Amino acid sequence: MPSSLRLLLVLSTSLLFSACGTSLHRAPVEDRNPQQPPKPAVESPPAQGSAPAAPEQKLPPGAENAGKPGYYTVKPGDALIRIALDNGQSWRDLARWNNLENPNRIEVGQVLRVVPPGVDAAAVTAKPVASAPKVEPRPLDAKPPVVAASAPAAAASTAPPASAAASDDEGLAWGWPVSQPISAGFDEQRNKGLDFAGKPGDPVLAVADGRVVYAGSGLRGYGNLVIIKHNNTYLTAYAHNRAMLVEQDQVVRKGQRIAEMGSTESDTVKLHFEVRKLGKPVDPAKLLPPR
């Protein structure tokens, strides 16, 4: 073999082994993308029906009557005496009709009957209150009515002559609660009655026959308050008294002295007088007789 051919063969063999060695002993390659930590396992939602049942919501008393005529749903800040006044009823009747063991405790959302049981709320008619049965549930106020020591509880004055009385379409003859002139007139938004200025101790008179359904200080803003129910349509209210001379459930006559003028929960001595027709304030000046 020629020497040139033998040299070429040697070089070719060396290159072949060099190439094989390189492929068999390759240097390790650095991993630039390290493995991410495994994602936490997602819990499967519980099977339908396996979740604990929600506790049953307790409905307020009387909730089944919500929205019905003749019923009232209690709102935040309500008091039984206010509900009674706004619906032309005695708070004692409301307590009895709704089986309230403690009339001072009513709850928001509670639904109260505000018309007598068995009576159609849309067909309430006037009925003389003097013949109403006497009821004696627990008193609404913890304190007894304030009574002046110098006057008997049933003190009365001579009723004004018939010629000075006015009659409405339901047979009530009205008189004036005081002899003083009106100091502030009726305003449906700002003054739901009439105001009369006076001196401490000036007499306050019942404007018509009726029954006292409240005598106390449990209605904020009214001070010592007397409310008289004259029939199933009309109530009258006498506020800010210094003393109250009648008791709850007492029958009174027109012109009877029921209180003494004062300034309880008022900046001045005055009588605030309201007339409620089916619970709605109306202008007393339209019912009282001319002077």
How much is the average pLDDT of 133-152?
42
- 93 and 172 share a domain? no
Instruction: Specify whether 149 is located in the same domain as 103.
Output: no
**Is this structure's pTM higher than 0.85?**
no
Rounded Cα gap, residues 59 and 256, in angstroms = 46
Name the more confident of 106 and 137: 106
Model confidence at 155: pLDDT above 80: no
Q: Which residue has the higher pLDDT, 235 or 188?
A: 235
113 and 167 housed in the same domain: no
132 domain residue, yes or no: no
What gap in Å lies between CA 116 and CA 113, rounded to an integer? 8
CATH code at position 89: 3.10.350.10
Average pLDDT over every residue of 227-249: 96
187: in domain: yes
**Coil, strand or helix: which one is 72?**
strand
The DSSP annotation for 106-162 comes to --TT-EEE-S-TT--GGG-----GGGSPP-----SSSSPPP--TTS-TT---PPPPG
Is residue 263's pLDDT more than 80?
yes
pLDDT of amino acid 88: 87
What is the C-alpha separation between 174 and 178, in angstroms, rounded? 12
Please state the domain count of the chain.
2
Q: Are residues 164 and 263 in the same domain?
A: yes
Indicate whether 262 pLDDT > 80: yes
Distance of CA 278 to the CA centre of its chain: 19
How far is the CA of 36 from the CAs of 29, 30, 32, 227, in angstroms? 19, 16, 12, 82
Question: Chain-wide mean pLDDT for the chain?
Answer: 77
- 145 and 278 in a single domain? The answer is yes
Do residues 146 and 283 share a domain?
yes
pLDDT score at 131? 41
Least confident of 41-45, 68-72, 105-109, 189-193: 41-45
Quote the pLDDT of residue 31.
46
pLDDT category at 137 given cuts 50, 70, 90 is very low
Question: 211 and 105, same structural domain?
Answer: no
d(CA 205, CA 140) in angstroms, rounded, equals 24
What is the pLDDT at residue 104?
Answer: 87
213, pLDDT greater than 50: yes
The two three-digit tokens of residue 15, written as one number: 């290159």
pLDDT band at residue 39 under the 50/70/90 scheme: low
Structural contact between residues 246 and 216, judged by C-beta atoms closer than 8 angstroms: no
| Max avg pLDDT among 19-33, 66-80, 112-126, 253-267 | 253-267
Check whether residue 98 and residue 148 sit in a common domain: no
In a domain, 122, yes or no: no
- Tens of pLDDT, residue by residue over 90-129, are 888 999 999 998 888 999 999 999 998 887 776 654 454 5
Q: What is the largest CA-CA distance in the chain?
A: 166
- How do residues 46-65 score in pLDDT, each as one tens digit? 556 566 666 677 888 888 99
Residue 76 lies in a domain: yes
Residues 150 and 103 grouped into a single domain: no
Average pLDDT over residues 218-242: 95
Same domain? 69 vs 192: no
Question: Is position 238 within any domain?
Answer: yes
Say if 33 falls within a structural domain: no
Structural domain boundaries enclosing 167: 141-291
17 torsion bin: left (phi>0), alpha (psi -120 to 50), beta (else): alpha
pLDDT of 276 above 90:
yes
Whether 7 is in a domain gets the answer: no
Tens-digit pLDDT profile for residues 169-212 = 467 899 999 999 999 999 988 899 999 999 999 999 999 999 99
Task: Decide which of 47 and 75 is more confident.
Answer: 75
pLDDT of 254 = 97
Is the CA virtual torsion 239, 249, 231, 252 positive or negative? Answer: negative
On whether residue 2 sits in a domain, the answer given is no
- Which CATH number goes with the domain that contains 285? 2.70.70.10
Q: Residue type for 197, please? A: A
Assess whether 106 and 145 both reside in one domain. Answer: no
Residues 149 and 84 in one domain: no
Q: Write down the pLDDT at residue 37.
A: 52
